[in-house]
Amino acid sequence: MRPTIRPQVADQIDPNQRLSAIKPLGLGLYQKGLIGMKISVRGGLPYPLSGPAISGPTDTVKTDCIAFLGADYPGMRARVLVEQGATVKAGTPLFEDRRNPGIRVTAPVSGKIDQINIGAQRRLSSIHIAVEGEDRLSFDVSKAHTNDGLRALMQSAGLWPALRARPFDRVPPLDGQAAAIFITATDTHAHAPKPRDVLTGLETSFARGVAALKLLTPGKIYLCQHSGDALAPADEQTQIVHVDGHHPAGLVGTHINRLHPPSRQKPVWHIGYQDVAELGILLTDGHLTGQRTITLSGPGLSTARYLRVPWGADLHALTRKDLRPGRKRILSGPALGGREHRHLSRYHLQATVLDMPPERPRNWLVAALRAAAVPAPFVPTQAVENALGPKLHVVPLLRALSIGDAESAARLGCLQLAEEDMALATYATGGEVDFAARLRDILTTLEAS
């Protein structure tokens, strides 16, 4: 069942500033009297999601198996580094990128390699680990105070894929240079974890991770967070940015568009707040926890809660005891933009359970005609105009994506975007066109050109 969206009309201000305004918050708010910034998304679309309210403490849950999904790393041609049946420790390399050797994904838990699934074109589909014991590798952090040393540490520990670069939203090369780095400590999805609550008790690790990221770029570090005290100290390089407004205000694409639009020559990188805290823990303890805090919620559950789980946790096992009667869809990710899968995606901080609508009788002729039809038209309503956080020409961009016009889409700003930025547009236009998939196809075309 899709959540109900109520379009919100923009405030009566200059049309060129309708979606956002960036303004100083004032001197003296942060350390050293630095000026903070604020992004206010005046449009956006609130989408309240039904289901029980999230309550109670965070439960740490162990699952019997976890899986890493090849689909989490678009563009990566994986070389598998383990064999089925092998025993691994937490931190053992599982696979690396053939095109960029050294970009590795490591095991978050110890156990036995249960399955290695290879899909079409010999691409990695998934690696499954049956969890056993708590053995883990330790990493040398003695040289992490330098640029090369930090890169080598993140590479060996498997934390480098926490970074992604725009344009194209790919894991950046190990020798890449970022014009700026964005830390996303905001989330405006319905039932998303609250970053400030998640980071309670991890303040020191998070601050250390933020400080370390400054070694990777000569440019700015933009720490984008909700209102309140700064989550980490500000300085000449670290800029605190307050974000408010309805979804998609919390998406990194909105922040990048407002503050530092990328180009092929000057890419910008972004990383989630929980991965920054994980980096701080790695620098302090010499190992990864391999865990993240997520919310488990949605109308298909009797109870919604915070969970601390390993990367790639089995969502069927996590939801089994709380499912309401009836057929359900279990999504890794939010209700808008999540994907139906048994295991938690590397970059998702939510799992959502939705009621599955009754099946309608299908006619093979109607299905064939729909498959062969031209792209479905959409009406350019106010809801469609408000569906993108970035200040772009929304309707022309969506039309270019719907017909596969890569040249026009690039001219209209698609290089700033990733799939998550298009989820609300797909919903607002009725769901006939999957704009996230269309965007990825065009980005792939542009990347190869």
- The span from the CA of 64 to the CA of 26, in Å, is 51
Q: Where do the domains of the chain lie?
A: 18-47+160-285, 60-156, 291-355, 378-448
Which whole number is the average pLDDT over 8-33? 32
Give the per-residue pLDDT at 383.
83
Angle between the N-to-C axes of helices 273-285 and 203-213, in degrees from 0 to 180, rounded to the nearest 10: 90
Report helix, strand and coil shares of the chain as percent, to nearest 5: 30, 25, 45
- The span from the CA of 9 to the CA of 42, in Å, is 8
- For the CA atoms of 341, 345, 348, 354, what is the dihedral angle to 10 degrees? 10
Query: Comparing C-alpha atoms, which of 225, 335, 351, 254 is closest to residue 294?
Result: 351
Give the per-residue pLDDT at 429.
87
- The span from the CA of 127 to the CA of 125, in Å, is 7
The phi, psi pair for 274, rounded to 5°, reads: -70, -30
Half-sphere exposure of residue 140: CA atoms within 13 angstroms, side-chain side: 4
Give the per-residue pLDDT at 250.
96
Cβ–Cβ under 8 Å, residues 45 and 8: yes
Give the per-residue pLDDT at 34.
45
Give the per-residue pLDDT at 8.
35
Q: What percent of the chain has pLDDT over 70?
A: 88
Give the per-residue pLDDT at 366.
67
Give the per-residue pLDDT at 47.
79
Beta strands 268-272 and 180-185: pairing type?
parallel
Residue 328: is it exposed, middle or buried by C-beta count within 10 angstroms (0-12/13-18/19+)? middle
- The span from the CA of 104 to the CA of 96, in Å, is 4
What is the SS3 assignment for 332-378?
Answer: ECCCCCCEECCECCCCCCEEEEEECCCCCCCCHHHHHHHHHCCCCCC
Q: Which fold would CATH assign to domain 18-47+160-285?
A: Rossmann fold (3.40.50)
Q: Which of 7-11, 273-277, 357-361, 402-406 has the largest mean confidence? A: 273-277
Cβ–Cβ under 8 Å, residues 252 and 241: no
- The span from the CA of 389 to the CA of 252, in Å, is 9
Q: Which two three-digit tokens encode residue 43?
A: 């449009």
Report DSSP state, residue 91: T
Which whole number is the average pLDDT over 368-392? 73
Give the per-residue pLDDT at 22.
35
Residue 177 CA from chain centroid, whole number? 21
Q: What is the pTM of this model?
A: 0.89
| Top-tier CATH class for 60-156 | mainly beta
Q: Tens digits of per-residue pLDDT, 45-73?
A: 887 789 998 988 899 998 999 999 999 99
What is the pLDDT of the chain when averaged over all its residues? 88
Q: Tens digits of per-residue pLDDT, 355-373?
A: 988 777 777 676 666 665 5
Cβ–Cβ under 8 Å, residues 208 and 183: no
Q: Which fold would CATH assign to domain 291-355?
A: Ubiquitin-like (UB roll) (3.10.20)
Q: What percent of the chain has pLDDT over 90?
A: 77
Give the per-residue pLDDT at 57.
87
Report DSSP state, residue 415: G
